[in-house]
């Protein structure tokens, strides 16, 4: 079992099969003992978000059968705006200097990194694990590429032996699903059953989230 602990940040608005399948794949690839979902507060880069209460409730329903998964709600309780760099700093304080930590993100998030607060310092606290996302290619702008050159790592075992500082890309199975698309489909009364965990679909119906009506069967 790996000593690495990985955190998967996101709005999870709602959590979908793309998140879950990717998380499961990473548990296998890295032999992770623990993968923690880290729901973000209203992202400073995103317009729309549902009440944290519902997003966390759906996350709990989605992971309840997998003991390797956990949830850390710290970002939701922090004064806003909340930035990933602050969370990683807190995690490093919490775990101390000896624990290997990684932050998981999709290629779309990685490409937007230069818009993040103090992005160049993220690897001072944790590794980054970047997963594939359909329609987002590994074409980096100069600034991001230059930063990456000193950090890119092709040996996944190094993420265990070093505590932070590396960026590792995993060619995960493609899952062409996004929360944005799911919200749009729900609002139009279209079927979303292939893209949502069944318990999450049922929760959305029960609470009439995202404009879902009884016609969206799960």
* CB of 42 vs ligand ATP, minimal distance in Å: 12
Task: Report which of 184, 178, 175, 152 is spatially closest to residue 165, judged by C-alpha positions.
Answer: 152
180 binds ligand ATP per the rule CB under 6 A:
yes
Strands 167-170 and 5-10: unpaired
| 12, 30, 168, 203: which one binds ligand ATP (CB under 6 A) | 12
Site for ligand ATP in 91-130 (CB under 6 A): 105-106, 108-109
| 2, 6, 7, 18: which one binds ligand ATP (CB under 6 A) | 18
- Closest CB to ligand ATP among residues 127, 133: 133
Tokens representing residue 193 in the block:
């059953």
Q: How many residues bind ligand ATP (CB under 6 A)?
A: 18
Q: Which residues pair with 70 in a beta bridge?
A: 36
Ranked by CB distance to ligand ATP, the top (closest) residue is 106
Give the E-state strand segments of 25-126 in sequence order: 34-39, 69-71, 101-106
Radius of gyration of the chain (CA): 17
Q: Which stretch binds ligand ATP (CB under 6 A): 15-23, 72-80, 84-92, 160-168?
A: 15-23
Rounded-to-integer distance, Cα 157 and Cα 102, Å? 13
- Closest CB to ligand ATP among residues 171, 214: 171
Q: Which stretch binds ligand ATP (CB under 6 A): 10-18, 27-35, 81-89, 205-213?
A: 10-18
Residue 216, helix vs strand vs coil: coil
Rounded-to-integer distance, Cα 157 and Cα 153, Å? 10
Chain residues binding ligand ATP by CB under 6 A are 10-13, 18-19, 22, 105-106, 108-109, 131, 133, 175, 177-180
């Amino acid at each position: 079992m790996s000593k690495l602990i990985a955190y998967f940040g996101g709005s999870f608005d709602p959590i979908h099969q793309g998140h879950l399948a990717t998380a499961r794949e990473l548990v296998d690839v890295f032999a992770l003992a623990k993968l923690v979902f880290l729901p973000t507060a209203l992202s400073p880069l995103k317009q729309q978000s549902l009440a944290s209460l519902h997003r966390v409730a759906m996350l709990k329903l989605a992971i309840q059968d997998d003991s390797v998964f956990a949830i850390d709600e710290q970002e939701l309780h922090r004064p806003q705006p909340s930035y990933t760099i602050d969370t990683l700093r807190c995690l490093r304080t919490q775990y101390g200097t000896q624990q290997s930590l990684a932050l998981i993100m999709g290629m779309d998030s990685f490409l937007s990194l230069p818009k993040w607060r103090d992005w160049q310092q993220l690897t001072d606290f944790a590794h980054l694990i970047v997963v594939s996302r359909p329609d987002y290619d590994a074409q980096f702008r100069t600034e991001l590429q230059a930063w990456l050159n000193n950090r890119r790592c092709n040996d996944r075992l190094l993420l265990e032996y070093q505590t932070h500082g590396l960026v590792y890309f995993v060619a995960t199975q493609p899952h062409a699903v996004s929360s944005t698309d799911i919200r749009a489909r729900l609002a139009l009364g279209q079927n979303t059953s292939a893209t949502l965990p069944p318990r999450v679909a049922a929760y959305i119906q029960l609470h009439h989230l995202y404009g879902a009506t009884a016609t969206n069967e799960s």
